[in-house]
Structure 1
Amino acid sequence: MAKSKKQLREHFAAKEAAQATNDQLDTCNDAYTSGAFQYLRFVVHLLSAAQFSYGIYYHYYRVHWPSDLVDEEEGLKTRWGGKFKYLTFLDVILQAFYHTVALLNDIFGDNTVTLHSKSKLRLIRDYVFATFAFPVAHNVCISFWVIYAWDRELIFPTALDAIFPSWLNHVVHTNVALLAILDLFTCFRRYPGLAGIVGNLTFMLLYIIWLHIVRYFSGLWVYPLLEVLPFPFRYLMLAALVGFNLVCYFLGEYANKIVWAPELKLLQQQKIKQG
């Protein structure tokens, strides 16, 4: 009889603990999915989608290379993919796609703190952000500004200042990273683990292959820096590009764990209590 009472007490204690965890999650979701937080997330995605979409339009249709660069650059910039050969341009397309999906999820999907979301928009949003949007944005931003500070002629010649507006330069090289960080603080997500790592590496390896296709058919490397580097250092740089993109993935995962630590802990407790 004493054993039975003990088991009963343990059962009620476990039930109360599970209910307390659920109550805490409900409190989180009340704050997270309504009020100021909800509007902030919506505005971030709306303005980001609009900004990057306009940046793509302006970059593609309004930016034309100066005549004094035509001999060196014209074939590189018009054949075999045009501007689609640049990681910067591909990244701004990626950011526009991500924030559009995130905006649609804000309207039609689900933003609750939960173990398993039923919203396909939410699943796409979280995977694209973790695997591509966050790491590629930071790869582009950090790589560009580091090389720019070292020798800007290797990545953004002075002659481009006349036709490439400063605001567009920051949209494609700075805002991509800043808005990804802001999104990290406004959107709860669980990282995809191995699937995200594989996707991240696959994206960058495909881009490296694309660079070689362009080199084969145009006779020129996409980036002037690759032209001046000796053979071993060129491939060391390309390997570093892939590796740094993966580092940015793990940086995003680590930051996500810090920002959303209380919510992730509650979900882990809920998972354990549900068996």
Structure 2
Amino acid sequence: MTKSKKQLRELQAVREAEKAHTAQLNTCNDAYTRGAFSYLRFLVHILAAAQFTYGIYYYLVKVHFPKHVNEEDELKTRWGGKFKYLTFLDVIIQAIYHSVALANDIFGSNVVSTESKSVLRRTRDYIFATFAFPIAHNVCISFWVIYLYERELIFPEALDAIFPSWLNHMVHTNVALLAIMDMFTCFRQYPSRIAGVTGNVSFMLLYIIWVHIVRYFSGHWVYPLLEVLPWALRYLMLLGLVGFSLACYFVGEVVNNIVWSPELKLLKQKKIKQG
């Protein structure tokens, strides 16, 4: 049956809209995947991956806690070693994330598209959204708030002699700053809310369980603050740690949707057009 003029006009309008959306996406990709913007994204990832990898090496090999720092046994020999600190685990997460992001820059694609993403790119987006961004800000904000209130509760002054200032800022400040820089230079689509929240909360709950395992075998809490708090406030603090990490996740999701709203809007419109 021959199509009416009205149907032909509607079909033509749909095709023109699809072409317009495609043209807009191509314009976004020209600006995003080429030139100065792509070099900046690559620079952020390579510098961050190198920095955090070196930080892990220095933290493990060069930082030694002598006995005079604390009345108990040397800190590094306590059960769990340096892996009991959320700060150290976070640096490992940052090194993994930026290495994966760098691999995607070299071997994958950063194109804004409705097509299925590679495993490498989906992994990059999930690690950033669920772990790298929220845990970095959890560590950074929690550490500096307690540090400014009473540093002996979290980073005793005696540690200044063996834990260099640059390393302190790398693990407690740069983690958040580089996550923010990555947010503004690297387009991503956040995972489903249930997948992201489940991953984030599960990690924090597992860390709290790990803290109790360390306490059981070593006889000491990981952080001096946990030693001085009464049990009710201690568990309120640990619960707050989980809640704050979750809040950082939602902040990251909101900021990402604001920063990349034009691209996300185009993708949503194109998906609707494609049915």
Per the alignment, residue 189 of structure 1 pairs with 188
The aligned amino acid for 2:167 is: L
The aligned amino acid for 2:210 is: W
User: Which consecutive segments of 4 or more residues in structure 1 shift more than 6 A?
Assistant: none
Per the alignment, residue 131 of structure 1 pairs with 130
Residues 114-123 or 245-254, more deviating? 114-123
CA deviation map 1:151-208 (0-9, x unaligned): 0000000001111111000000000000000000111011102111100011000000
Distance in 2 separating the partners of 1:129 and 1:230: 35
Distance in 2 separating the partners of 1:20 and 1:73: 68
Per the alignment, residue 151 of structure 2 pairs with 152
CA deviation map 1:43-62 (0-9, x unaligned): 11001000001111111111
CA deviation map 1:218-249 (0-9, x unaligned): 11100111111111110000000000000000
CA shift at 1:71, angstroms? 2.5
Distance in 2 separating the partners of 1:116 and 1:78: 50
Distance in 2 separating the partners of 1:116 and 1:90: 34
Distance in 2 separating the partners of 1:215 and 1:4: 77
Q: Contact 1:56–1:93 at 8 Å: present in 2 too?
A: yes
Per the alignment, residue 79 of structure 2 pairs with 80
CA shift at 1:30, angstroms? 1.1
Is structure 2 residue 5 aligned with structure 1 residue 5?
yes
Per the alignment, residue 59 of structure 2 pairs with 59
Q: Contact 2:33–2:110 at 8 Å: present in 1 too?
A: yes
Is structure 2 residue 183 aligned with structure 1 residue 198?
no
Query: 1:8-87, aligned counterparts within 5 Å?
Result: 8-72=8-72, 74=74, 76-87=75-86
Is structure 2 residue 91 aligned with structure 1 residue 99?
no
Residues 89-98 or 65-74, more deviating? 65-74
Is structure 2 residue 257 aligned with structure 1 residue 257?
yes
> Taking every aligned residue pair, what percent have the same amino acid on both sides?
74
The aligned amino acid for 2:197 is: I
Is structure 2 residue 236 aligned with structure 1 residue 240?
no
Q: Contact 2:64–2:76 at 8 Å: present in 1 too?
A: no
Per the alignment, residue 218 of structure 1 pairs with 218
Q: Contact 2:69–2:159 at 8 Å: present in 1 too?
A: no
Distance in 2 separating the partners of 1:18 and 1:197: 34
CA shift at 1:106, angstroms? 0.3
CA shift at 1:70, angstroms? 4.1
The aligned amino acid for 1:172 is: V
SS in structure 2 at match of 1:80 = coil
SS in structure 1 at match of 2:110 = coil
Is structure 2 residue 162 aligned with structure 1 residue 169?
no
Q: Where does structure 1 lack aligned partners over 5 or more consecutive residues?
A: none
Q: Contact 1:89–1:172 at 8 Å: present in 2 too?
A: yes
Q: Contact 2:67–2:73 at 8 Å: present in 1 too?
A: no
**CA distance 1:198–1:160, change in 2 (3 Å):** same
Q: Where does structure 2 lack aligned partners over 5 or more consecutive residues?
A: none
CA deviation map 1:54-87 (0-9, x unaligned): 111111111111332242362x532322000000
The aligned amino acid for 1:12 is: Q
Distance in 1 separating the partners of 2:70 and 2:156: 13
Distance in 1 separating the partners of 2:73 and 2:230: 21
Distance in 1 separating the partners of 2:208 and 2:13: 56
Q: How many residues are paired up? A: 274
SS in structure 1 at match of 2:111 = coil
Distance in 2 separating the partners of 1:117 and 1:164: 45
Q: Contact 1:66–1:159 at 8 Å: present in 2 too?
A: no
